[in-house]
Every structure is written in structure tokens, then in C-alpha cells.
Amino acid sequence: MSADPLAAHTHAFLTALAGEELANEELWLEALTHGSTGQERDYQRLEFLGDRVLGLIIAEWLHEQESASEGKLSQRLNALVSGSMCAQVARQIDLGPHIRLGKQARDDGGQDSDNILGDVIEALIGASFLTRDFEATRAMVRRLWADAFSGKAGQKKHPKSALQEWAAGNNRKMPHYELVERSGPDHSARFTVEVSIKGIGEARATGASKQEAETLAAQEFMKRFG
């Protein structure tokens, strides 16, 4: 894997994430692989496992550190393992550029998709659990979720995450993003995206990629309505 510069960069990222040399590089790469690549194995099975491991680690942490009632602990647990929180943690470690996507998924902004980012971070947790052990995986999760657990997460939220949290906090449906225009040649395409929240309004923005346009649209929405 180290012969390819991009693969070497990804290897360095994964090694830093794990905090040690990888025991099974192929499994970790599987955790980064989206189905759009056409590879025989993608991250879905590891994501299934990692989701459960993450829930157990966070539940244990909450039980250890907090004396709240079962209901309050459940609320905290749900918030800390939510898709939006997983995506937020993924952005904090700059996971997006390392995800292996097919061309269409990449053009559609897959590197900045909350769903994909959240699924991949869970898949990486699954890979850690399988290739190392629970204790090492617990240490990794606690490091990654430290700010979120202490309540410091979100001080510099990604615009899409900030908008999603704003919608939830105002009892509104989640933001809906729609690509309304794609213009220009492939090498210099421009994407216009509209984001809307039912009962509130909408905002549009244009960027050099779909993900950039979505980010700018979320910023514009918050300027108008946040």
C-alpha cells in the first residue's frame, strides 16, 4: 500500500487514528470503501458492527461518569451516537478525503455527506474492534468523542451540522438539499443547490462541487433564518 502516494497518505491517517501500526490494513481499507466503487467488499458490514460497538462504549462511559436517571442517560446516548454526531466527529478528523468513492458519488459530494461520513466512522470502529480488541477501540472512541462527551463539541460546527442541529432544536424536519442546476464543462463545473426546511424557507448557493454548494447553502440559510 505504501507504494502509492495516496495510499501512503491514507495509511498514515489510519495509523494515526488507531494510534499504532495496523494489524490488518485490508480490513481498515474496507471500512473506507463505499459501494459506489464497485469493489466486492464495502463498509456496510463493518458499519453494522461498529454501530453496536460505539453504542456500548458510549453507554459504558455514561454509566461510569454520570449519575443521571436512565431516561437522561438514554437521551445523552442517543445524541452522542446519532448520525449527525458521527458525521461531526468524522469532519473533525478530516475523514472525507480518505473515503474511497466511485466517480459519481464523489461528484455528488459523497465526501461531505452526513450519511456516508457517519457510516464510515462507525465502520472504522468495527475494523478496530475486529483487528485489535475492545480496550483499544474504547480508547480510540473516547479520544475521538472527548469534546462531544464533555459538551465542547460544536464550537466550530460545520455549516451543515449546525443547520441540522438548529432544525432539531426548533422541532423542525431535517434540511432537504436539492441540486437545482449543474452548468459548465466537466473540468470547471458549477453546482447550484437549494436547501429547505419545511415551514421555514429555503436558500440557494453555487459552488465548484455539490458538497461546496451544499455547505454554502447551509451558511446562507443560517444567515437568513438562524
State the pTM of this model.
0.67
Q: How far apart are CA 38 and CA 124, in angstroms?
A: 19
Tally helices (H) and strands (E) across the chain: 11, 3
Each residue's pLDDT tens digit, 177-215: 999 999 988 777 889 999 999 999 999 999 888 888 999
Residues 160-225, CATH architecture:
2-Layer Sandwich (3.30)
- Say yes or no to pLDDT of 35 above 80: yes
| Residues taking part in catalysis | 51, 122
User: Domains of the chain: which residue ranges?
Assistant: 5-156, 160-225
- Say yes or no to pLDDT of 8 above 80: no
Domain spanning 5-156: CATH superfamily: Ribonuclease III domain (1.10.1520.10)
